Amino acid sequence: ECKILDGKKVASEVRERIAVMVKEIRESGKVPPGLAVVLVGDNPASKVYVGQKEKACKEVGFESFLYHLPEATTQEELLNLVGQLNEDPNVHGILVQLPLPKHLNETEVIEAIRPEKDVDGFHPMNLGKLVAGLPCTVPCTPKGIMHLLEYYGIEIEGKNAVVVGRSNIVGKPVAHLLLQKNATVTICHSRTRNLEDITKEADILVVAAGRPHFITQHMVKKGAVVVDVGINRLESGLVGDVDFDGVRLRASWITPVPGGVGPMTIAMLLENTLEMYERFS
């Protein structure tokens, strides 16, 4: 019988805990934690994510500052805004929603955020520290995955962990976090040959490929722990990268989509904001 890694439930516990802490901060008369979210243009998925993040901030009592800039924003204008937020004492975390419109230089914008306010953990300073195993801001989705595994007591040490996907925001950081917990980690990507020979060896399989129902039952080892990061919008609704109905017949644990990694990501964004507030205010 396959069990559910219930991200919705675990995330709501995290949020409740944070709300209590913010209440205490506000009652003591201090400046509350503040998150600035910058959205450029009208990418529909980005608008949904930004809306969810804003709502989550308000629910726990954070200040949330939304900057919705037009598609035609120039690099200079965006860098000026980031510079201003870097200096703003009410802003403890800065999040620039990706992807940016094509004419903007994402790398340069991420590098302009003060690492101390880089709530997504995408600044090279934070990613470098992550790889070195030093204290840093950990990107929200990978952090949420690790939190979920820990919550359910999933053993990681010595296990074969396979990560499908090598993006800077999910695949690479989660592989490093699993390595830090002493898993034997394999990273697969679009040029990997004989993918299923590798995924079949996974005790822990993390999938972040952005391909609907890509991982099927025959690619999964019996008893594996399967974490589905994918969010794919089909006409039939939201689906993950894992064929949930098939894979659950072989896995011991699995995350649903929606209700798995997604809510954890938002909860970790709140946690990162609070951590930055505590460290730097």
| Cβ atoms of 19 and 60 closer than 8 Å | yes
Q: Which of residues 90 and 105 has its CB atom nearest to ligand NAD in the complex?
A: 105
| Cβ atoms of 236 and 137 closer than 8 Å | no
Residue 166 annotated as binding? yes
CA distance 78 to 257: 33
| β-strands 63-69, 34-40 pairing | parallel
Question: Of the candidates 182, 234, 181, 225, which has an alpha carbon nearest to the alpha carbon of residue 207?
Answer: 225
Q: Is 189 in the site for ligand NAD (CB under 6 A)?
A: yes
* Residue tagged 């219930």 (tokens): 6
The number of residues that bind ligand NAD (CB under 6 A) is: 24
CA distance 77 to 164: 36
Q: Is 227 in the site for ligand NAD (CB under 6 A)?
A: no
Q: Is 261 in the site for ligand NAD (CB under 6 A)?
A: yes
Burial class (CB in 10 A: 0-12, 13-18, 19+), 208: buried
- DSSP class of 186: E
Helix (H) or strand (E) holding 57: helix 44-60
| Radius of gyration of the CA atoms of the chain, in A | 19
Supply the minimum distance, in Å, between the C-beta of residue 264 and ligand NAD: 7
Is 120 catalytic? The answer is yes
Catalytic residue among 53, 172, 181, 221: 53
Per CB under 6 A, the segment of 34-42, 75-83, 127-135, 226-234 that binds ligand NAD is 226-234
| SS3 assignment, position 127 | helix
Query: Which of 8, 129, 211, 213 is in the footprint of ligand NAD by CB under 6 A?
Result: 211
Catalytic residue among 3, 6, 30, 97: 97
Q: Which of residues 18 and 231 has its CB atom nearest to ligand NAD in the complex?
A: 231
Query: Which of 167, 184, 217, 281 is in the footprint of ligand NAD by CB under 6 A?
Result: 167
Catalytic residue among 118, 120, 241, 243: 120
Supply the minimum distance, in Å, between the C-beta of residue 281 and ligand NAD: 27
Q: Is 169 in the site for ligand NAD (CB under 6 A)?
A: yes
Within 10 Å of residue 60's Cβ, how many Cβ atoms?
24
Per CB under 6 A, the segment of 20-28, 116-124, 129-137, 209-217 that binds ligand NAD is 209-217
CA distance 161 to 281: 38
Query: Which of 14, 36, 82, 170 is in the footprint of ligand NAD by CB under 6 A?
Result: 170
Residue 190 annotated as binding? no
Tell me which residues touch ligand NAD (CB under 6 A).
141, 164-167, 169-171, 188-190, 192, 195, 208-211, 229-232, 261-262, 265
Residues designated catalytic:
53, 97, 120
